[in-house]
Structure 1
Amino acid sequence: MRELQIVNAAELAAAYARAEYAVALDGDALLLRVGRPARDLEAYWPARQYGFITAWNPASVPHSDAANEAANAALIARLDAIGVPRQPAHAYDKDGHWCEAGWLLGDVDEALLDRVGREFGQAGVLAWTFGEPVRLRMLMPRPAQPVPEACIDWAGA
């Protein structure tokens, strides 16, 4: 497991909550937003529990494309070994300065999602139950300063 050394967890959580997430299903890009239900996606690909995870840029530190692709291949192998259904997805900022490939997971337990996120050095993942709003799970302790965004859970030790 990789140790996260984040300077400002509150700012990072706010950025992740503002990001946009998209899932590619049958040629369509279905959008996900933290704090909003994912009705279109859920109608297209029903599951009880959902998650979004990436292996790119561990600890929110930019890595080369080659390093990110290698981490993604290791994540795919890990997800396949566990037997979690997955669909291609990505996360990006609205300004187009940042984009990461990732995976939408179906019927994945939050504890497993958190564990795999930590294994791949991720600061956060998305998780939600069918019909409920998408939630951001920050895999670090809650910061002392307030975080204004709703739908953020702090799963840190």
Structure 2
Amino acid sequence: MQRLHLVDASELASAYAAAEYAVVLDGDVLALHVGEPAVDVEAYCAARRYAFITAWNPASQPLPEAANNEADARLVARLQSLDLGFHPAWAHDRDKQWRESGWLVADIDVAILDTLAVEFGQAGTLFWEHGQPVRLRMSMALANGADALPFVDWGCGLAADPD
């Protein structure tokens, strides 16, 4: 299992929570925001559960576009092997200085999402149940003393450390 070790996980989670997410459904671009219900997405894509995942920039380390595209192709193959429905999506910061392609996945089990996040080295994914606000799932533990953020779940997909 790959572990993510970042200097400031809380700062990274804040950036992910503030990012803008979008998905293309039936030719329309629909926005997603952490902490808000995704009413428009749910109207276009009927499902019980939803997720956003990318394979770009594992461990939040920028990679060349070719490497990101290769990782994305591996993620697509995994989603297909799991027989999951998925649609093109992306995330970007509010200043549009950073962008990552990804996928909106319908009816994915949260345990499978967490497994994929760890497999593809992703620090965070989005997940929500139909009618509920979008939540950010961080694949790392919240550091002691760090402030918890609303709509953020920590330590997703991490096995318990033996002590």
Alignment partners' CA distance in 1, 2:8 and 2:146: 11
C-alpha distance in structure 1 between counterparts of 2:2 and 2:103, whole Å: 20
Distance 2:147 2:129 in 1: 23
- How far did 1:2 drift? 2.9
Instruction: Give the root-mean-square deviation of aligned CA atoms.
Output: 1.0
Deviation at 1:148, TM superposition (A): 5.1
2:84 matched to which residue of 1?
A: 84
The whole-number CA distance in structure 2 between the counterparts of 1:99 and 1:59 is 15
Find the counterpart in structure 1 of residue 153 from structure 2.
153
Deviation at 1:80, TM superposition (A): 0.4
Which AA in structure 2 matches 1:18?
Answer: A
The aligned length equals 157
4+ runs of 1 displaced by more than 6 Å? Answer: none
Which stretches in structure 2 are left out of the alignment for 5+ residues? none
Q: Which amino acid aligns with 1:9?
A: A
Match of residue 6 from structure 2: 6
1:30 aligns with 2:30: yes
Q: Which runs of 5+ in 1 are unaligned?
A: none
Partner of residue 141, structure 1: 141
TM-score normalised to the size of structure 2? Answer: 0.93
| Cα deviation code 1:24-46 (max 9, x no counterpart) | 01111100000000001101101
Q: Deviation per CA, 1:90-122, whole angstroms, max 9, x where unpaired?
A: 000010110000000000011100000100000
- Normalising to structure 1: TM-score of the pair? 0.96
Equivalent in the alignment of 2:106: 106
8 A contact 1:14–1:147 mirrored in 2: no
